[in-house]
């Protein structure tokens, strides 16, 4: 029995006297061996961990499984559509299943390791610390088999609350938390997934790409006249672009050059297909959209404001010339720098404070031009026969034109007052001078590519710029790639400002972020941000000369030439008004006879959608070259996709598209799971090290656990009171009998024995 020594709370247990020598469970190695001679099972000499093969497998294989699972998750998060296996998982819609299965493997490995560590902590609690008598039996059984650390935390709570097993209790709580949170690994990881486009495989297709002109075509297949200028674009299709603008824009005084800008239109007629197009390799129609605007030299300028009976608006005339010999690929007709006479009507603002440029295009005789990068620098190819001609013939074949742009200030009412020679409108006030005249040539003001001609009225100024286009086309094989899918823009109405909003269209055309103060180093939207594809250059050195077409390529480009002519009709001999809220001047016979021949057909205009794009581009950039380039690109696009509906000549192409799929887009959930697993592995390492250095029991041994229960402290409860009872009832009964406060642990004989009892004021 237990004898108490003095005031100490420790009990010394005598040898038990009521074991049955005939019970093999409670006997030693022999039925006749007294129970007090049974020795405890200790670790074998030289053996650090006595956790069995299963325990070692759980530790080693578990770490490998967790590491492999994390590596696979890293692959899913880090790889992209260039990896075929990753693309098969994501594009095939298998990523959610892959994450769920990986999380299941992680949960299995973590739970197995947590159960093993629970056994270790339970053994340490019994070997090196004490637990209350009611928790001793559950704690002993946890060494052999358990369902995780949750029951261990419950059994250690009483000891922890009374100041014992503090470190073990903390480790058990952390182990319980990590094991619990790991159960939600798949849910956590799935929160990083979002629907995003990825590249699908490249597919070989045969699609209608050109018109079979040799088979004959109905006249209904092509549009004649200048109708595209009068129509609103139904769409703004994405295209592929190659640009070489460095060193061109404003390196020459008085010249603004867009640089070589090639825009390829692909025979993909469906809007949804173009928006998801990833790559395209095959036949396409490529447009040279380069425009150069220069400050002209004006001589003998004169102004005609009309007579009293014909107040048709002001007209300006004179001689115009420019020196662009230093501009790349610019040539004069037969090397003769000719000065031409011009006689242009003007557009006058209707409002006193206009929000747009009052711009008008005046046709001039083609005496110079830019040779397209698609043609030889010294000669031109006949698109039908491939015959080479000189520069003078190029002026006949060249579709790029010259445009004299005139911007006018001063309101319409002010001009009428000058025309009537008296104040009849309050708009703009009456005439401030008796006779409106142009300033002398020495008073002209040079502003970039603009030449300002003031008048003796400070509110009225004429600004002129001479622009040349290199518009030309070729049908040839291209290679284009896009970094992401896109949404094609639309013309929208700005209700606040009561005008059309062209931001999306200007972004697509690359003029949204440009302004009149931009330099060569100013950032612009990338091709992906603009929603277009990157067109690969044809030359290895990516120079403009690589675009020169041979005779075979030119002969096969009849479709592109037809489209270009359709889109370009009306520009060569037509005066165009490039403003919405302005009043164009009309024919004035007196001015024509006085200053020469006006070759225009009379002023015309464009659809308000084209004009809105023109005016907003001018207002944002200050450069008419961008405005002309933007509008003509849209006119060409309209003509191309109108004719594309009639394409009947099939060509072999290779293309790939983006597909919408769930894919990891952020790293927050992955990082959280990674930190959680690192904490788990660190915790496992701490428990293993602690058990290896302090533990003496056997993990996973059922008989060893039963052996620990062979004690006088427990036997009378096992035999007499606990049969058929729940743990809660046994705990209450122990409390009633005063045994609940007893601290027990594994004694020297390897069995559960009383180590002490907690009394008031004493904490053992």
Number of domains in the chain: 2
Cα separation of 635 and 615, whole Å?
A: 16
Q: Kindly state the average pLDDT of the residues 385-402.
A: 56
| 3 state SS of 469 | strand
Q: Is residue 141 part of a domain?
A: yes
pLDDT at residue 534 is higher than 90: yes
Q: Kindly state the average pLDDT of the residues 320-344.
A: 78
Cα separation of 680 and 149, whole Å?
A: 13
Please say which residue of 662, 677, 702 terminates a domain: 662
Higher pLDDT, residue 655 or 567: 655
Cα separation of 742 and 2, whole Å?
A: 13
Choose among 394, 392, 388, 389: nearest CA to 371.
394
Three-state SS annotation for 285-346: EEEECCEEEECCEEEEEEEECCCCCCCCCCEEEEEEECCCCCCCCEEEHHHCCCCEEEEEEC
Same structural domain for residues 305 and 407? yes
Domain that includes residue 372, residue range:
204-662
Q: What is the pLDDT of residues 13-23, one digit of tens each?
A: 344 443 444 44
What pLDDT, on the 0 to 100 scale, is given for residue 304? 84
Cα separation of 530 and 3, whole Å?
A: 91
Reported confidence tier of residue 342, pLDDT bands at 50, 70, 90: confident
Report the chain's terminal Cα–Cα distance, integer Å.
22
Q: What is the pLDDT of residues 22-59, one digit of tens each?
A: 444 444 444 344 444 444 444 444 445 567 788 888 89
What pLDDT, on the 0 to 100 scale, is given for residue 168? 81
Percent of the chain, pLDDT > 90?
32
What pLDDT, on the 0 to 100 scale, is given for residue 213? 72
Please say which residue of 613, 628, 662 terminates a domain: 662
Q: Kindly state the average pLDDT of the residues 296-324.
A: 81
Same structural domain for residues 615 and 724? no
Structure tokens at 740: 């609940």
Same structural domain for residues 655 and 677? no
Same structural domain for residues 453 and 468? yes
Q: Is residue 37 part of a domain?
A: no
Higher pLDDT, residue 737 or 408: 408
What pLDDT, on the 0 to 100 scale, is given for residue 513? 74
Reported confidence tier of residue 496, pLDDT bands at 50, 70, 90: confident
What pLDDT, on the 0 to 100 scale, is given for residue 340? 82
Mean pLDDT of the chain: 76
DSSP string, 380-422: EE-TTT--EE-HHHHHHH----EEEEEEE-S-HHHHHHHHHTS
Higher pLDDT, residue 524 or 598: 524
Q: Is residue 589 part of a domain?
A: yes
Q: Is residue 616 part of a domain?
A: yes
What pLDDT, on the 0 to 100 scale, is given for residue 110? 94
* pTM passes above 0.75: no
Q: What is the pLDDT of residues 69-105, one digit of tens each?
A: 999 999 999 998 889 999 999 988 999 999 999 999 9
Same structural domain for residues 146 and 256? no
Q: Is residue 16 part of a domain?
A: no
Reported confidence tier of residue 414, pLDDT bands at 50, 70, 90: confident
Higher pLDDT, residue 594 or 216: 216
Reported confidence tier of residue 153, pLDDT bands at 50, 70, 90: confident
Q: Is residue 36 part of a domain?
A: no
What pLDDT, on the 0 to 100 scale, is given for residue 201? 85
Higher pLDDT, residue 714 or 221: 714
The position carrying tokens 């742009």 is: 405
Reported confidence tier of residue 585, pLDDT bands at 50, 70, 90: low
Same structural domain for residues 683 and 616? no
What pLDDT, on the 0 to 100 scale, is given for residue 241? 96
pLDDT at residue 545 is higher than 80: no
- Lowest-confidence segment of 310-314, 376-380, 570-574 by average pLDDT: 570-574
Same structural domain for residues 616 and 688? no
Percent of the chain, pLDDT > 70?
65
Reported confidence tier of residue 204, pLDDT bands at 50, 70, 90: very high
What pLDDT, on the 0 to 100 scale, is given for residue 34? 46
Q: Is residue 2 part of a domain?
A: no
What pLDDT, on the 0 to 100 scale, is given for residue 158? 62
Q: What is the pLDDT of residues 704-757, one digit of tens each?
A: 666 666 666 666 666 566 665 666 666 666 666 666 666 666 666 566 666 655
Partners of residue 3 on adjacent β-strands: 12
Structure tokens at 31: 């039925």
Same structural domain for residues 222 and 147? no
The position carrying tokens 């578990």 is: 62
pLDDT at residue 221 is higher than 70: no
Please say which residue of 662, 684, 719 terminates a domain: 662
Same structural domain for residues 652 and 725? no
Same structural domain for residues 146 and 278? no
DSSP string, 111-171: HHHHHHHHHHHHHHHHHTS-EEHHHHHHHHHHTT--S-THHHHHHHHHHHHTTSSHHHHHH
Backbone phi, psi, residue 478, to 5°: -130, 170
Reported confidence tier of residue 192, pLDDT bands at 50, 70, 90: very high
pLDDT at residue 639 is higher than 70: yes
Highest mean pLDDT among 338-342, 365-369, 514-518: 338-342
Reported confidence tier of residue 516, pLDDT bands at 50, 70, 90: very low
Structure tokens at 285: 């129609």
Q: What is the pLDDT of residues 427-465, one digit of tens each?
A: 555 556 667 889 999 999 999 999 999 998 888 899 999
Q: Is residue 40 part of a domain?
A: no
Same structural domain for residues 657 and 575? yes
Same structural domain for residues 466 and 384? yes
pLDDT at residue 658 is higher than 80: yes
């Amino acid at each position: 029995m237990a004898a108490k020594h003095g005031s100490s709370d420790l009990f010394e247990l005598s040898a038990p006297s009521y074991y049955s020598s005939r019970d093999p469970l409670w006997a030693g190695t022999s039925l006749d061996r007294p129970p007090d001679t049974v020795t405890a099972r200790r670790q074998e000499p030289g053996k650090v961990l006595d956790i069995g093969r299963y325990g070692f497998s759980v530790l080693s294989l578990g770490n490998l499984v967790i590491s492999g699972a994390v590596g696979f998750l890293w692959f899913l998060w880090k790889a992209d559509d260039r990896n075929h296996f990753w693309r098969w998982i994501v594009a095939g819609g298998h990523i959610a299943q892959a994450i769920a299965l990986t999380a299941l493997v992680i949960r299995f490995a973590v739970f197995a390791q947590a159960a093993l560590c629970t056994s270790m902590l339970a053994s340490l609690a019994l070997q090196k610390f004490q637990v209350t008598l009611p928790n001793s039996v559950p704690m002993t059984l946890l060494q052999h088999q358990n369902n995780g650390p949750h029951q261990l935390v419950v059994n250690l709570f009483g000891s922890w609350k009374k100041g014992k097993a503090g470190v073990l209790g903390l480790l058990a709580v952390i182990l319980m938390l990590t094991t619990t949170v790991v159960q939600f690994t798949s849910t956590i990881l799935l929160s990083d997934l979002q629907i995003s486009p990825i590249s699908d495989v490249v597919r070989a297709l045969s699609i209608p790409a050109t018109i079979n002109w040799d088979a004959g075509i109905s006249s209904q297949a092509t549009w004649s006249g200048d109708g595209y200028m009068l129509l609103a674009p139904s769409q703004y299709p994405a295209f592929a672009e190659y640009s070489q603008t460095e060193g061109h824009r404003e390196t020459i005084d008085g010249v603004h050059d867009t640089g070589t800008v090639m825009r390829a239109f692909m025979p993909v007629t469906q809007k949804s297909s173009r928006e998801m197009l990833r790559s395209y390799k095959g036949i396409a129609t490529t447009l040279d959209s380069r425009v150069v605007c220069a400050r002209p030299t004006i001589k003998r300028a004169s102004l005609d404001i009309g007579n009293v009976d014909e107040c048709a608006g002001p007209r300006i005339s004179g001689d115009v010339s420019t020196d662009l010999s230093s501009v790349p690929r610019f040539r004069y007709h037969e090397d003769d720098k000719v000065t031409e006479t011009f006689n242009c009507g003007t557009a006058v603002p209707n409002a006193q404070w206009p929000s747009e440029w009052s711009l008008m295009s005046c046709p001039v005789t083609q005496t110079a031009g830019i040779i397209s990068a698609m043609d030889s620098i010294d000669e031109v190819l006949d698109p039908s026969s491939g015959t080479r001609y000189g520069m003078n013939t190029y002026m006949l074949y060249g579709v790029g034109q010259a445009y004299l742009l005139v911007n006018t200030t001063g309101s319409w009412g002010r001009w009428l007052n000058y025309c009537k020679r008296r104040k009849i409108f309050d708009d703009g006030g009456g005439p401030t001078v008796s006779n409106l005249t142009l300033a002398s040539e020495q008073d002209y003001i040079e502003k970039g590519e603009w030449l300002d001609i003031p008048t003796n009225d400070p509110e009225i100024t004429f600004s002129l710029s001479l622009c040349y286009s290199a518009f030309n086309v070729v049908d040839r094989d291209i290679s284009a790639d896009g970094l992401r899918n896109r949404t094609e823009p639309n013309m929208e109405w700005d209700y606040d400002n009561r005008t059309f909003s062209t931001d999306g269209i200007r972004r697509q055309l690359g003029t949204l972020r440009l302004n009149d103060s931009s330099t060569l180093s100013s950032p612009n939207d990338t091709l992906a941000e603009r929603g277009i594809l990157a067109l690969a250059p044809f030359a290895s050195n990516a120079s403009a000369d690589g675009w020169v077409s041979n005779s075979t390529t030119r002969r096969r480009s009849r479709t592109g030439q037809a489209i270009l002519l359709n889109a370009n009709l009306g520009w060569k001999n037509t005066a165009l008004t490039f403003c919405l809220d302005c009043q164009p001047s009309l024919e004035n016979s007196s001015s024509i006879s006085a200053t020469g021949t006006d070759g225009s057909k009379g002023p015309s205009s464009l659809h308000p959608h084209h004009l809105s794009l023109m005016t907003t581009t001018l207002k944002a950039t200050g450069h008419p070259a961008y405005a002309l380039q933007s509008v003509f690109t849209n006119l060409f696009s309209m003509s191309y996709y109108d004719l594309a509906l009639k394409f009947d000549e099939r060509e072999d192409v290779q293309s790939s598209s983006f597909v919408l799929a769930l894919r990891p887009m952020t790293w927050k959930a992955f990082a959280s799971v990674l930190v959680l697993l690192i904490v788990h592995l660190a915790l496992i390492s701490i428990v293993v090290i602690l058990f290896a250095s302090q533990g003496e029991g056997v993990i996973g041994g059922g008989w060893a656990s039963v052996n620990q229960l062979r004690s006088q402290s427990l036997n009378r409860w096992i035999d007499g009171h606990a049969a058929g009872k729940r743990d809660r009832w046994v705990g209450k009964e122990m409390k009633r009998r005063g045994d609940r406060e007893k601290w027990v642990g594994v004694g020297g004989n390897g069995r559960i024995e009383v180590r002490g009892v907690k009394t008031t004021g004493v904490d053992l």
